[in-house]
Structure 1
Amino acid sequence: MKKKLKLIILMLTMLLTFSTSVSAIPLASDPTEPANNSPTTTYWYSQNVFTSWIQSPNDIDFWNFVSPKTGFQELWIIPPPGTTYGFGIYEYGASSPLQYVIASGSVGLSSIYVPLVAGKAYTVMVLPFNGTYDDVTPYYIGHPVLFPY
């Protein structure tokens, strides 16, 4: 049931994204840039699924959130086809990841499972791997607010 719910929500998110955007947002117009280029300047997110673009081989995106519950949580990413992205989660302000995965667009959804603490701040990092990026097609991330079990 959880996987079916994830798939339905993901499909709705992708439908809304692709139906409202037919081309890449220029770097200067992207509302998440340059704010998500540093864990200390990025927005604090409370939404369930969010999306952005890796727009160059040097673009690194950060997303901050506060965990709504304690226990193992699933965070996932769907990189664009033809890309490979590093995807990690850190305690806010830390330099070593709690969990990290190399996610391939040819695989689709890649998940990490990590123990989080309710009320504690965390940072998600997305970066291009081996110089691959797509400035036209966004990546998608889902985090614990979406699946409060």
Structure 2
Amino acid sequence: MGRGRVDFDRGLARLSAYAREYGHANPKAHEEWLTWRVGLWVSSLREKYRKGKLTGEKVAAAEAIGVRFVPPYRDPKPKPPTRAECRESDLLRRLEWLEEYFQENGHINIPQLRGISTWPNAGRWVARLRSQYRKGKLPQTVVDRAESMKIVWNPGAGRRSY
């Protein structure tokens, strides 16, 4: 066994320790770990793979600890939520703010001019929610949650106090 095999085994052992620490075996090319250029070693390993200079045994050993030889080398970044998903989660979060009012009153039909103690503009927000419902712009999850909280979508003319 020549020096190349010893270096490969030592490098693989170090990379395995790196993978246990960071959760992956695909460091960036410039990355160092414990004063060892782990990224450079993996980069040269990939270059040898592309040139056909790695044996099947070495490729299998490296893949066993998680080295990827074919791009993309890392998992793709998770996509940020869409505007519609953000809006839906915001509406659901605001409905949660009305949970206490719902528990006390059995509904979330808050008068527009009078909010609740923790949210003074809750009545106006519920009115805007109804308006969006009538225009068909509310996600079904929000509609279902509001209906489970006994919202009246068309409450009619309210009381006016001048």
Report the TM-score, using the length of structure 2 for normalisation. 0.23
Point out the structure with the larger helix share: 2
Point out the structure with the larger strand share: 1
Greater RCO (Cα-Cα under 8 Å, separation 6 or more) = 1
